[in-house]
Amino acid sequence: MADEKLVVRNVYKIFGEEPERALDLLKQGYSKDEILKQTGQTVGVQDTSFNVHKGEIFVVMGLSGSGKSTLVRMLNRLIDPTAGEIYIDGDPITGTDMENVRKIRLTKMSMVFQHFALFPHLTVAENVAYPLKIRGEDEKTRREKAMKSLEQVGLAYWADRPPSALSGGMQQRVGLARGLCAEPEVLLMDEPFSALDPLIRADMQKELLELQQAVHKTIVFITHDLDEALILGDRIAIMKDGWFVQVGTAQDIVSDPQDDYVAAFTQGIDRGRVFTADWVMRDPIPLDLQTDTAETALKKLDDNERDGLYVKNGNETAGVVTYGDVAHAFSKGETDLKRILHTQYPTTRPRTLLHELYDPCSEGLPIAVLDDDGKLQGVVDPSEVFSMLVPDTELPSEKQARQQQDQAGTASAGAGKAAAQA
Ligand SMILES: Nc1ncnc2c1ncn2[C@@H]1O[C@H](COP(=O)(O)OP(=O)(O)O)[C@@H](O)[C@H]1O
Ligand SMILES: [Mg+2]
């Protein structure tokens, strides 16, 4: 597909002398631990397939030893896969000669590591331009491009200083600038922020997101930190024992963890910073100021189980009425909605995070979700916001067991009925 930058198909990496034997056992269903015990071979990555879309940040998150570095290094063939295929822009990276791989690395992909060494005898700018030197670009071009990427990471001022003049966080920025300098289409980032202290790390995450708004790279970002994954990832893959347990958006993963392992990770996270207004918004079902009365409004509120509804006047949103006000008006025989209309009401945007809605929620009115043109897209009930913040206490394994039991229950009930009819 045109918008697939990277395509990864069934890749495996076995470390050891007899990868074939380990592969065989893997395919028979043996676990990483069992294979290590039986053969001494280490399963780095097993049967992993995914696509990375052009322009997205694809995060691979997992504990230490889960295979993240092995996977990302296979993408540019710093590590050769034992089996499987990898393509960039539809062209194979696997099964092609190293000359071609080098060309791809120099022109299309850059890698940024957690502990990457700056050359102490080169200036910051020379360090940044180093990949261009390898590529054979002239000095003037190298300087220009180095300055541009140093500006992108806010370090232009330090261009002619030695790396030793910089703090750890700044040195990590230089690493990023070096990654950007070759103007790659794909950035591979292996725990680039993991060694930084939390405040600097949060800054770097923010900056990476801002930078990405400007440069639109395709980024594969590795982290062992779920919070970092949730902040950065357009999509996140959760890795365990060399394979992907689950791939999805932050909202997908937190709302529906695939197994207890993923659920355990997601338990403690701040859900108000994961879910957005559009995740909880409901159909607005607007009332019409001209034709609806207290009576019809009350019926719509009841039928749709709403605490309030927005009212339109032609194409404009006129305001919002609450259940209490409508019921009161109806009991007194009033019909007109104008008198009970709240013309001041809270509004938000579809992509606003729920934690930013706590204040507007306190007004007790449904929040209007407006698009770029101010058009009413939906409404968010305060109660929906607060119930979304509470994690599911049922583990995925318990849920599965319950569903199986339910199914078995209906099946045996059905069988009983059939027997009774016979
Ligand atoms: N060069 C190697 N030789 C043998 N085993 C390795 C090698 N590199 C990684 N491994 C093993 O492969 C597995 C995945 O490692 P790695 O990809 O480094 O994980 P992560 O980056 O998620 O911490 C681990 O069990 C690790 O011990
Ligand atoms: Mg690693």
- How far is C-alpha 84 from the geometric centre of its chain's CA atoms? 25
Q: Which of 42, 75, 225 to mutate to test the pocket of ligand 1 (most atoms within 8 A of CB)?
A: 42
* Coarse DSSP helix, strand, coil percentages of the chain, rounded to the nearest 5 percent: 45, 25, 35
Domain assignment present for residue 102? The answer is yes
Q: Which one, of 323, 319, 331, lies nearest residue 297 by Cα?
A: 323
Nearest CA to ligand 1 atom 7: 15
Supply the pLDDT for residue 117.
Answer: 79
Q: How far is the CA of 112 from the centre of ligand 2 (A)?
A: 12
Q: What is the mean pLDDT of the chain?
A: 91
Q: What percent of the chain has pLDDT over 90?
A: 75
- Contact, 79 vs 13, CB < 8 A? yes
Which structural domain, as residue segments, surrounds residue 312? Answer: 278-388
Q: Which ligand is nearest to the CA of 194?
A: 2
Nearest CA to ligand 1 atom 16: 67
> Do both 232 and 122 map to the same domain?
yes
Supply the pLDDT for residue 95.
Answer: 92
> Do both 287 and 191 map to the same domain?
no
> Do both 70 and 182 map to the same domain?
yes
Domain assignment present for residue 44? The answer is no
| Measured distance CA(336)–CA(256) in Å, rounded | 44
Cβ(19) – ligand 1 distance below 6 Å: no
Of 195 and 206, more confident: 206
Domain assignment present for residue 43? The answer is no
User: What are the DSSP calls for 8-53, one per residue?
Assistant: EEEEEEEESS-HHHHHHHHHTT--HHHHHHHH--EEEEEEEEEEEE
Domain assignment present for residue 14? The answer is no
CATH, residue 303: 3.10.580.10
> Do both 320 and 228 map to the same domain?
no
Tens of pLDDT, residue by residue over 381-410, are: 998 899 899 888 888 999 889 988 888 877
Cβ(194) – ligand 1 distance below 6 Å: no
Q: How confident is the model at residue 364 (pLDDT cuts 50, 70, 90)?
A: confident
Q: Which of 269, 293, 313 is the last residue of a domain?
A: 269
Supply the pLDDT for residue 414.
Answer: 55
Cα-flanking dihedrals φ and ψ of residue 257, to 5°?
-60, 135
Domain assignment present for residue 113? The answer is yes
Q: How far is the CA of 53 from the centre of ligand 2 (A)?
A: 23
CATH, residue 254: 3.40.50.300
- Contact, 98 vs 104, CB < 8 A? no
Cβ(16) – ligand 1 distance below 6 Å: no
Ligand 1 atom closest to residue 73's alpha carbon, by position in its atom list: 17
Domain assignment present for residue 9? The answer is no
In the sheet that 235-240 helps form, which strands lie side by side, from edge to edge? Answer: 109-113, 186-190, 218-223, 57-62, 235-240, 243-248
> Do both 416 and 332 map to the same domain?
no
Cβ(266) – ligand 1 distance below 6 Å: no
> Do both 322 and 262 map to the same domain?
no
Q: How many domains does the chain have?
A: 3
Cβ(66) – ligand 1 distance below 6 Å: yes
Cβ(68) – ligand 1 distance below 6 Å: yes
Mean pLDDT of 328-346: 94
Cβ(15) – ligand 1 distance below 6 Å: yes
Q: What percent of the chain has pLDDT over 70?
A: 96
Confidence check: pLDDT of 132 > 70: yes
Ligand 1 atom closest to residue 222's alpha carbon, by position in its atom list: 21
Q: Three-class SS of residue 230?
A: helix
Ligand 1 atom closest to residue 242's alpha carbon, by position in its atom list: 14
Lowest-pLDDT range, 60-69, 184-193, 347-356, 400-409?
400-409
Mean pLDDT of 94-116: 88
Tens of pLDDT, residue by residue over 60-85, are: 999 999 999 999 999 999 999 999 99
> Do both 229 and 100 map to the same domain?
yes
Supply the pLDDT for residue 413.
Answer: 59
User: What are the DSSP calls for 264-275, one per residue?
Assistant: HHHTTS-GGGT-
> Do both 242 and 365 map to the same domain?
no
Confidence check: pLDDT of 418 > 60: no
Q: How confident is the model at residue 1 (pLDDT cuts 50, 70, 90)?
A: low
| Measured distance CA(330)–CA(318) in Å, rounded | 20
Q: How confident is the model at residue 422 (pLDDT cuts 50, 70, 90)?
A: very low
Confidence check: pLDDT of 357 > 90: yes
Domain assignment present for residue 31? The answer is no
> Do both 378 and 400 map to the same domain?
no
> Do both 147 and 232 map to the same domain?
yes
Q: How far is the CA of 86 from the centre of ligand 1 (A)?
A: 20
Of 239 and 265, more confident: 239
Strands 287-288 and 186-190: unpaired
Q: Which of 269, 297, 313 is the last residue of a domain?
A: 269
Domain assignment present for residue 250? The answer is yes
Of 200 and 239, more confident: 239
Supply the pLDDT for residue 315.
Answer: 87
Ligand 1 atom closest to residue 63's alpha carbon, by position in its atom list: 22
> Do both 236 and 368 map to the same domain?
no
> Do both 58 and 149 map to the same domain?
yes
Cβ(64) – ligand 1 distance below 6 Å: yes
Q: Which of 269, 291, 307 is the last residue of a domain?
A: 269
- Is residue 268 classed exposed, middle or buried when 0-12, 13-18 and 19+ CB atoms within 10 A define those classes? exposed
Supply the pLDDT for residue 407.
Answer: 86
Radius of gyration of the chain (CA): 28
Please state, as a whole number, how many other Cβ atoms lie within 10 Å of the Cβ of residue 405: 10
| Measured distance CA(177)–CA(207) in Å, rounded | 12
Confidence check: pLDDT of 412 > 80: no
